[in-house]
Amino acid sequence: LVLVVDFGAQYAQLIARRVREAKVYSEIVPHTMPVEQMLAKNPKAIILSGGPSSVYEPGAPALDPGIFAAETPVFGICYGFQAMALALGGDVANTGKREYGRTDVGVSDPGVLLAGLPATLRSWMSHGDEVVRAPEGFRVTASSPRATVAAFEAPERGLAGVQWHPEVMHSEHGQRILEHFLVDIAGCRQTWTMVNIVDEQVERIREQVGDARVICALSGGVDSSVAAALVQRAIGDQLTCVFVDHGLLRKDEAAQVERDYVAATDVNLKVVDAADQFLGHLAGVTDPEEKRKIIGREFIRTFEAAEIEILQTPGTPVRFLVQGTLYPDVVESGGGEGAANIKSHHNVGGLPEDLQFSLIEPLRTLFKDEVRQVGEQLGLPPAMVWRHPFPGPGLAIRIVGAVDAERLRIVREADAIAREELTAAGLDRDVWQFPVVLLGDVRSVGVQGDGRTYGHPIVLRPVSSEDAMTADWSRLPFELLERISTRITNEVPEVNRVVLDVTSKPPGTIEWE
């Protein structure tokens, strides 16, 4: 176990992921956790993350020097590097020389941390202060134009640090630097793999559940599918999955769950076709939040009705509910300060408060990419494992205006074409998500054949992102956009115009509603 101490930067999760990519298990802890508690977890090493711009800022998180007393190896990154320098008797100065973005770091003396790397490393920096003197006994191994001490180490004491961010993609050889610390300085063994996780979880679930029965709401998304498959692997028919088909899914998705997923997992599946019910309640509703609330409410109602049926079937008691909670959700709900409720996400906000089940959350320690690997390990269809995120309220929030069967058909056809062409271009994994939105209340004039048309626009919203918190619009090749546009206007008669959304997030959200 490697602990990543979060000093409030968005980088802590990325560091934890990179450590796991090095096949070493990692967890994130807040900097407010007392050092004794951190050490009680018996970590093999500790990594101090980046954080606010200055260790001298009022209210800047302090580093308890006690962390170094235990002789656990410590690696400091950016703010963590400066806090470490200060705690061990070095000097940090606010020189006013700021360094942001791409910077060339010159390796003067590779030591252990930078061994075998080129003399110049293109690296990602983000700092205002700088370490002007390394602590006693430390070797300075690199510098940059604005930081004379950009890396230092005392490997015999298990200590090292860098001013830049080796965890970000833009830093050359960042992964190797992390591995040098983990393996060569801290002596970690690289044994964390997805095979281990599956075995470990299967064991744990069996122990937790005993002979009780378990239910799971399957959405067709990656997380719930993998969570359910894992639980199925552990306890077989003691698990019943409920799939509420709200009629707002994309083309063929419901069939895929019923057919391919069951074929791959042999899971006990109860499908509830509730499309008419949802459409009935959504009729005439145009306000986005209102749509979300209706869908959330109907979803819970439908699921509870199915649950009651299962409770009434003879057998051992039903005591557990499976949830596809991921590690970022756990971290964010633990340290979720100031996260404004921008939209009510129904699968987070709408759980009944008097939940009479215990939760099974087999993916609680995993990142999305690890969940995908577990899914592959469990033999799930690639189309499911690599599916883009899709919102719980489905296509209802991709129709601007009221939702009805006709509009659903239009957006579903257009979406299927866009996805098909993206896949054919081999770009599925280059975009995070590709919402296709129907402007239901907007019409524009067009001409097709010899006639005037008065149809609806379709908006293409391909985005790239790391975590959906921020996003940028994807620069898809013009030829691909052209093919999508031509096919949609040819094959979906109600649509006579296709437009591209070129807004980043912020200010736009990924979805239109």
**Interface region with ligand XMP, contact rule CB under 6 A, candidates 48-56, 62-70, 302-310, 344-352:** 344-352
Window 130-189: residues binding ligand XMP (CB under 6 A): none
- Nearest approach, Cβ of residue 472 and ligand XMP (Å): 12
Sign of CA dihedral 168, 467, 332, 253: negative
Strand 147-154 versus strand 139-144 pairing type: antiparallel
- Nearest approach, Cβ of residue 81 and ligand XMP (Å): 33
Question: Judged by CB under 6 A, which of 171, 224, 433, 489 binds ligand XMP?
Answer: 433
The DSSP result for 281-312, as a single string, is HHTT---HHHHHHHHHHHHHHHHHHHHHHHHH
Residue 322 in marked binding region: no
For ligand XMP, the closer of residues 133 and 368 by Cβ is 368
Compute the radius of gyration of the chain from its Cα atoms: 26
User: CA-to-CA distance for 256 and 233, rounded, in angstroms?
Assistant: 20
Question: Judged by CB under 6 A, which of 258, 332, 404, 511 binds ligand XMP?
Answer: 511
Between the alpha carbon of residue 135 and those of residues 6, 45, 88, 384, 414, the distances in Å are 23, 20, 6, 51, 62
Window 346-385: residues binding ligand XMP (CB under 6 A): 346-347
Residue 74 in marked binding region: no
Residue 236 in marked binding region: no
Active site residues: 78, 165, 167
- 509 touches ligand XMP by CB under 6 A: yes
What type of residue sits at position 180? H
**Interface region with ligand XMP, contact rule CB under 6 A, candidates 136-144, 267-275, 342-350, 454-462:** 342-350
- Nearest approach, Cβ of residue 315 and ligand XMP (Å): 31
**Contact of 132 with 163, CB cutoff 8 Å:** no
User: 391: closest CA among 348, 442, 340, 335?
Assistant: 348
- 345 touches ligand XMP by CB under 6 A: yes
- 505 touches ligand XMP by CB under 6 A: yes
User: CA-to-CA distance for 471 and 122, rounded, in angstroms?
Assistant: 24
Rounded to the nearest 5 percent, the helix, strand and coil shares of the chain are: 35, 25, 40
Residue 222 in marked binding region: yes
For ligand XMP, the closer of residues 171 and 302 by Cβ is 302
Question: Judged by CB under 6 A, which of 122, 133, 270, 343 binds ligand XMP?
Answer: 343
Window 47-106: residues binding ligand XMP (CB under 6 A): none
Between the alpha carbon of residue 106 and those of residues 94, 117, 151, the distances in Å are 22, 11, 10
Residue 221 in marked binding region: yes
Question: Judged by CB under 6 A, which of 43, 392, 455, 457 binds ligand XMP?
Answer: 392
Between the alpha carbon of residue 133 and those of residues 143, 151, 152, 217, the distances in Å are 12, 11, 10, 57
User: CA-to-CA distance for 90 and 172, rounded, in angstroms?
Assistant: 27
Residue 223 in marked binding region: yes
For ligand XMP, the closer of residues 417 and 510 by Cβ is 510
State the number of binding residues for ligand XMP (CB under 6 A). Answer: 15
What type of residue sits at position 482? E
User: 173: closest CA among 189, 193, 151, 155?
Assistant: 151
Neighbours of 290 (CB within 10 A): 11
Window 461-480: residues binding ligand XMP (CB under 6 A): 468
What type of residue sits at position 428? D
For ligand XMP, the closer of residues 49 and 224 by Cβ is 224
**Interface region with ligand XMP, contact rule CB under 6 A, candidates 133-141, 170-178, 390-398, 481-489:** 390-398
- Nearest approach, Cβ of residue 281 and ligand XMP (Å): 16
Residue 426 in marked binding region: no
- Nearest approach, Cβ of residue 433 and ligand XMP (Å): 5
Alpha carbons within 13 angstroms on the beta-carbon side of residue 81 total 30
Question: Residues marked as binding for ATP?
Answer: 219-225
Binding stretches for ligand XMP (CB under 6 A): 292, 343, 345-347, 389, 391-393, 433, 468, 505, 509-511
Question: Residues marked as binding?
Answer: 219-225
